[in-house]
Copies of this chain bind each other. A is one copy, B any other.
């Protein structure tokens, strides 16, 4: 059974005539006859009463409900891939916790307002988890930090972050080696982009055995740091957000550790869905140097 046959069958019922259907579909009447006949042979039932106007038989009526749904679905699918059509469906995004908390609320709110037909699915995880999901086609795009990737994944810088050392107590200067060795660090589990920076920091200070608590939630990390449980390395913008809820103290780090670029990871361009296409278009204006969350803000 061909979609084309169903399309023709539907047109015959709608117009009440084989020849009118042919004209509407830009083909010839004998072709319409052939398609209908083929359907009737395949299903072993008479589908149309050849009268003027042509009407569907009970069996035809039954097929018609399927034909309408299938043809409609088909047209929808084609339309959704058409470059000038408004995208619909879902946009599956991934993000690190920190980015989700700080940058995404404004961004996604604007996006969802701009494209009301799109449902955004947001999943958080570590950079390496998210990258794997992008690679596996489970996510359309993901915000990640500092990862090397194969050439099937494309990275685009979107936010420039400055990592700072965060503590619950005032920090005058960088803690010395001994203090650092005794103070636990709080971080996301293995695979988080920032965690790599912690290890670089320890190596630099020649601290041998870093003690790192692995938490799955940003709220938990910040809360525990504020409670004096230990130190953390977080983007300055994230800390700013939590300042209202917790008493936090920060210390700037040398640029070599501090600078972290959040990048938007996707597959290569031809794989993009229309939904992703418009999302990436909206992200075009986002320069790593001049971050502004209002990419999709209403003008």
Residues in A lying within 8 Å of B, measured CB to CB: 1-3, 43-46, 49, 55-63, 65-66, 69-70, 73-74, 76-78, 80-81, 83, 89, 92, 135-137, 140, 152, 267-268, 270-276
With a cutoff of 8 Å between Cβ atoms, the chain B residues found around residue A69 in the complex are 73
Given A1-B74, A3-B2, A271-B49, answer yes or no on A80-B57 (Cβ-Cβ < 8 Å).
Answer: no
A59 to B135, CA, bound (A): 13
Asked whether A136 lies within 8 Å of B55 as measured between CB atoms, the reply is yes
Q: How far is the CA of A43 from the CA of B81 in the complex (A)?
A: 6
C-alpha gap A89/B69 in the complex (Å): 14
The verdict on A62 contacting B49 (CB below 8 Å), with A70-B73, A73-B69, A137-B56 known, is: no
Residues of B within 8 A of A92 (CB): 58, 61
CB distance from A67 to the nearest CB of B (A): 8
* Residue of B whose beta carbon sits closest to that of A55: B137
Q: Is the CB of A273 within 8 A of B70?
A: no
A-B contact pairs, 29 of them (CB 8 A): A1-B74, A2-B2, A2-B3, A3-B3, A43-B81, A44-B81, A44-B83, A45-B271, A45-B273, A46-B270, A46-B271, A49-B135, A49-B152, A49-B271, A55-B136, A56-B137, A57-B137, A57-B271, A58-B137, A59-B271, A59-B273, A61-B92, A62-B80, A62-B89, A62-B273, A62-B274, A63-B77, A66-B77, A73-B73
Q: Nearest-CB distance from A280 to chain B (Å)?
A: 11
